[in-house]
């Protein structure tokens, strides 16, 4: 398994046979990455900056806590990105972390690469 780049994620989004749930996940994730104020080149890069920002694994509880203490005047783009991740986690009934979603997408990409 690798470090899925944003380009590869976009290719996965456009690949035939990708189900609507996974397409929605990718749409939200790409929007969240796009809103992050610093350049992001891979899903692992994004997971790391979010992990550092929220103080650990990006779980619904940590994201909510980070959003509650954020300075919107200075970190509005971070807040927008985290809000989208919060929406993403709700699609999984708040039972997974951002890292688990990234691992799932990497597996889907690897499967499709060999088809």
Structural domain boundaries, residue 46: 6-113
Pair 98, 85: CB distance under 8 Å = yes
Query: pLDDT (tens digit, 9 = 90+) per residue, 3-37?
Result: 899 999 999 999 888 999 999 999 999 999 999 99
Question: Residue 114: what pLDDT?
Answer: 60
Q: Is 17 exposed, middle or buried (0-12, 13-18, 19+ CB in 10 A)?
A: exposed
Domain membership of residue 47 (yes or no) is yes
Domain membership of residue 34 (yes or no) is yes
What pTM was estimated for this model as a whole? 0.92
Pair 54, 63: CB distance under 8 Å = yes
E strands, 1-115, where?
Answer: none
Query: pLDDT (tens digit, 9 = 90+) per residue, 31-73?
Result: 999 999 999 999 999 999 999 999 999 999 999 999 999 999 9
Domains held by the chain: number: 1
Domain membership of residue 76 (yes or no) is yes
């Amino acid at each position: 398994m690798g470090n899925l780049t944003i380009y590869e994620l976009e290719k996965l989004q456009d690949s035939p046979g990708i189900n609507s749930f996974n397409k929605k996940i990718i749409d939200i994730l790409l929007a969240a990455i796009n809103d992050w104020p610093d350049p992001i080149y891979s899903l692992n890069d994004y997971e790391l900056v979010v992990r550092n920002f929220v103080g650990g694994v990006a779980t619904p509880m940590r994201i909510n806590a980070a959003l509650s203490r954020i300075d919107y005047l200075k970190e509005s783009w971070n807040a927008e990105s985290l809000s989208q991740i919060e929406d993403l986690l709700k699609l999984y009934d708040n039972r997974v972390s951002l890292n688990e979603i990234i691992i799932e997408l990497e597996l889907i990409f690897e499967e499709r690469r060999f088809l």
